[in-house]
Amino acid sequence: MNQLAHISPIYTALLTVAAPLVAFLYQALVGKRDQSGIISLLGIVCSFIFAALTWLTIWNHPVVSAQLTWFTIGASTFKVGILLNNLSVLMLLLVPTVALPVHIYSRAYMKGDPGVHRYWMYLSLFCFAMLGLVIMDSLLLMYIFWELVGFASYLLIGFWFTRETAVQANKKAFLVNRIGDLGFLIGLAIIFTQFKTLNLVDLFGEAGLIYQSAVTNGQWVSPVNSMDQIWLTIAGLAFFLAAMAKSAQFPLHVWLPDAMEGPTSVSSLIHAATMVAAGVFLLATVFPLFNESTLLFIATIGTITAASAAYFALGQYDIKRILAFSTISQLGFMMVGIGIGTWDAALFHLVTHAFFKCLLFLSAGAIIHEMTHFKVHSQLDFDPQDLRNMGGLRKYMPKTFMLMSIASLALAGFPLTSGYLSKDSIVISAYEWAQSKGDFYLLIPIILVIVSILTAFYIGRLIFKAFFGDFRIMDQVRDKLLDAPLHEASKTMLIPMFLLGLCCLFPVFSLNPFSYHDSWLMDGLLLDEYTFAPSHNAHVIIPLLLLIGSAVSWIIGWKWYVQQKYPLNANSLSLKAAFNQAYINELYQWIFVDGALKLARFCYWFDRYVVDSLVAFIQFIVLSLSRLSVWMDKHIVDGFVNAVASVTYWTGNQVRLVQNGKLQTALYSVFLFVLLGLIYLIFF
């Protein structure tokens, strides 16, 4: 073990990334012949071991980086290399740690699917892309892996490509992500123009170019270039746009709920450690680039996202959709964390969120798995993901219930869970930040507190509706009653869930369950200075407020959903709006899709009638001209020739008559020609 620890972290990091790539290549080559996915699993196990080694070597140790020259364009040399600092090794460890349980779980969950070999291939590619993204030391390389993550997610969301909805969903995810990619590209271009390098160490390292540049007299001056200061803001916003698309921030969040069309295990991976985490990670990486206005914008968007997604989650019935919206909402929290300047808190929440959200999805997957089995068994037609069909599952799946409850408590930020630590770190920091800024800014922490309580309510609603009360669908099968309609999930599924459940508890992150400042993770990422003063009152009041609010919301939820005293009209406008996500999709459909279609129709019309008419007109002219020339050729040129020919022919024919061998004819012609000669001589 000691010897292993002496392997250079560079190599262990590279092996971490390479293992899933090898698994991917293997699966791609072998194809259908290997459906077990054992290689992918092995790949991720290797990845996990090497990531752990790397993490042990690097965490809280000096930054390590290695580079090779890649190519040179003009005076700029691009290097390919890896950068291992606390941030990247944390992500490097997180990805396989979450991916490993998902892989194990998938072996049971995806068993028997005819395309499972593709599933393993895509999953390995996805992990490879995400791992590559976190350790790359150049923004250009990050961009490449960023695209790869987007592509792999596209493949996974559309895994069941025979379903129309899945195809629509992956198209949507891909298109929305393209918008973000555009932002990334613009950001890259601005950075490169300003600093003539895309290397993260050169840019953001200690005394990097970013720190040497400053805004003076309205100019953003770097050691090599200077441009108007507006470009600093634009660069920040461009990177944020990239993160908005990947991390599903409001108005670009629309792809994430639809991405539920993929297998549940994929959803859990997308929502936990990969894909959506990429945006937050990117922002944490380029954080020094952001100026005041960009940060405020990020915080505002984060707040809007958190609030809107929590509201939408209230009206959903699909178990996975609720979780999807809760992911968006939590990502909003992380964005606020970045926007207020505490990206360490954002990363902390990202890590804790990764575990409990992964667990929530895997539990939901277990439920859906069992519901689907029940559906097949009972030959009933119902949606296995619809909450309204569930209820009382606690009796059939006690372990799943327990694990999902732990994850839900963590999501709600209940004390003794990891979520409590990380969520409070963001809310409290936001409060302190707002205090230092002014009264108006207090709106953000207030909204966050309300959203946290809403979070507790909607996840409570999910638990109550799914696990308490009576199994609603049972009424329909009373006559052909089965002993136990549902079973506990298989061990292969439960073990990874159990591991994730452990990671949802506070000891994993902090020995003191009530103070996020004691967390090793926050220590490791700790920023040199916060821009605002800490407030000790907030550390007591806000968690208390959140706890009381959550407790009250649960009591209400219990009354509404378990004791069936539901006071609201399910068809009320606000609930319908929540169910339909405030009609944002319809709005996009109307503006962008229909707009594009209308534009296309107009172009078609233009092409059909204007361009084609023009062509037809020219064609008509050319055709007429050619007809004319045909006529000319036929009648004038040919006619002349024919006339000459027929005159000659006629003359010849006439003259031929002379030669009939008769004496008198010969004499006659002689006379005629003499006469003609005479006439000529006389008259001419």
Partner 1 sequence: MITLTHFLVVSACIFCIGLYTVLSKKNAIMILVGIELMINASILNFVAFGKYDKVSYGGQIFALFAIVLAAAAVAVGLALVLNVYRHYKTINPDQINELKDK
Q: Does 652 bind partner 1 (CB under 8 A)?
A: no
Q: Does 60 bind partner 1 (CB under 8 A)?
A: no
Q: Does 654 bind partner 1 (CB under 8 A)?
A: no
The number of residues that bind partner 1 (CB under 8 A) is 10
At closest approach, how far in Å is the CB of 659 from partner 1?
A: 5
Cβ distance to partner 1 smaller for residue 621 or 675:
675
Phi and psi, residue 208, nearest 5°: -75, 175
**Which among 133-141, 413-421, 436-444, 658-666 is the span making contact with partner 1, rule CB under 8 A?**
658-666
Instruction: Find the binder of partner 1 among 667, 676, 678, 679 (CB under 8 A).
Output: 667
At closest approach, how far in Å is the CB of 640 from partner 1?
A: 33
Q: Does 527 bind partner 1 (CB under 8 A)?
A: no
Q: Cα separation of 369 and 489, whole Å?
A: 8
At closest approach, how far in Å is the CB of 658 from partner 1?
A: 9
**Tokens coding 607:** 């092409």
Q: Does 617 bind partner 1 (CB under 8 A)?
A: no
Instruction: Find the binder of partner 1 among 662, 673, 677, 678 (CB under 8 A).
Output: 662
Cβ distance to partner 1 smaller for residue 492 or 669:
669
At closest approach, how far in Å is the CB of 684 from partner 1?
A: 22
CA distances from 202 to 133, 192, 253 (A): 18, 12, 33
**Which among 445-453, 494-502, 506-514, 662-670 is the span making contact with partner 1, rule CB under 8 A?**
662-670
Instruction: Find the binder of partner 1 among 659, 673, 676, 677 (CB under 8 A).
Output: 659
Q: Does 673 bind partner 1 (CB under 8 A)?
A: no
Q: Cα separation of 24 and 41, whole Å?
A: 11
Q: Cα separation of 513 and 601, whole Å?
A: 61
At closest approach, how far in Å is the CB of 663 from partner 1?
A: 5
Q: Cα separation of 438 and 460, whole Å?
A: 34
C-beta of residue 387 within 8 angstroms of C-beta of residue 462: yes
Q: What kind and span of H or E run contains 23? A: helix 9-30
Instruction: Find the binder of partner 1 among 642, 671, 677, 679 (CB under 8 A).
Output: 671
641 by Cβ neighbours in 10 Å (0-12 / 13-18 / 19+) ranks as: exposed
Count of other CB atoms within 10 angstroms of residue 64:
18
At closest approach, how far in Å is the CB of 654 from partner 1?
A: 16
Cβ distance to partner 1 smaller for residue 2 or 654:
654
Q: Does 678 bind partner 1 (CB under 8 A)?
A: no
Instruction: Find the binder of partner 1 among 586, 668, 673, 679 (CB under 8 A).
Output: 668
**Which among 47-55, 78-86, 491-499, 653-661 is the span making contact with partner 1, rule CB under 8 A?**
653-661
**Tokens coding 196:** 């003539």
Q: What kind and span of H or E run contains 148? A: helix 139-157
Cβ distance to partner 1 smaller for residue 555 or 672:
672
Alpha helices in 379-417 (DSSP H): 393-396, 398-412
At closest approach, how far in Å is the CB of 675 from partner 1?
A: 10
Q: Does 664 bind partner 1 (CB under 8 A)?
A: yes
* Torsion angle in degrees (nearest 10) through CA of 106, 133, 241, 287: 120
* Torsion angle in degrees (nearest 10) through CA of 402, 405, 410, 416: -60
Ramachandran assignment for 71, one of left (phi > 0), alpha (psi -120 to 50 degrees), beta (any other): beta
Helices 418-437 and 343-378 pack at an angle, to 10 degrees, of 140
Q: Does 653 bind partner 1 (CB under 8 A)?
A: no
Length of the chain measured in residues: 684
Which residues within the stretch 323-352 sit at the binding site for partner 1 (CB under 8 A)? none
Which residues within the stretch 367-406 sit at the binding site for partner 1 (CB under 8 A)? none
Q: Cα separation of 334 and 281, whole Å?
A: 10
**Which among 92-100, 133-141, 508-516, 661-669 is the span making contact with partner 1, rule CB under 8 A?**
661-669
Q: What kind and span of H or E run contains 49? A: helix 38-58
Q: Cα separation of 430 and 436, whole Å?
A: 10
Cβ distance to partner 1 smaller for residue 74 or 661:
661
At closest approach, how far in Å is the CB of 661 from partner 1?
A: 3
Q: Cα separation of 563 and 552, whole Å?
A: 15
Q: Under 8 Å CB-to-CB from 131, ≥6 apart: which residues?
A: 16, 17, 20, 47, 51, 92, 95, 96
Q: Does 112 bind partner 1 (CB under 8 A)?
A: no
Instruction: Find the binder of partner 1 among 75, 661, 680, 684 (CB under 8 A).
Output: 661
At closest approach, how far in Å is the CB of 653 from partner 1?
A: 16
At closest approach, how far in Å is the CB of 667 from partner 1?
A: 6
Q: Does 660 bind partner 1 (CB under 8 A)?
A: yes
Closest to 95 measured CA to CA, from 65, 54, 137 = 54
Cβ distance to partner 1 smaller for residue 648 or 659:
659
Cβ distance to partner 1 smaller for residue 597 or 667:
667
Residues lying near partner 1 in the complex (CB under 8 A) are found at 659-664, 666-668, 671
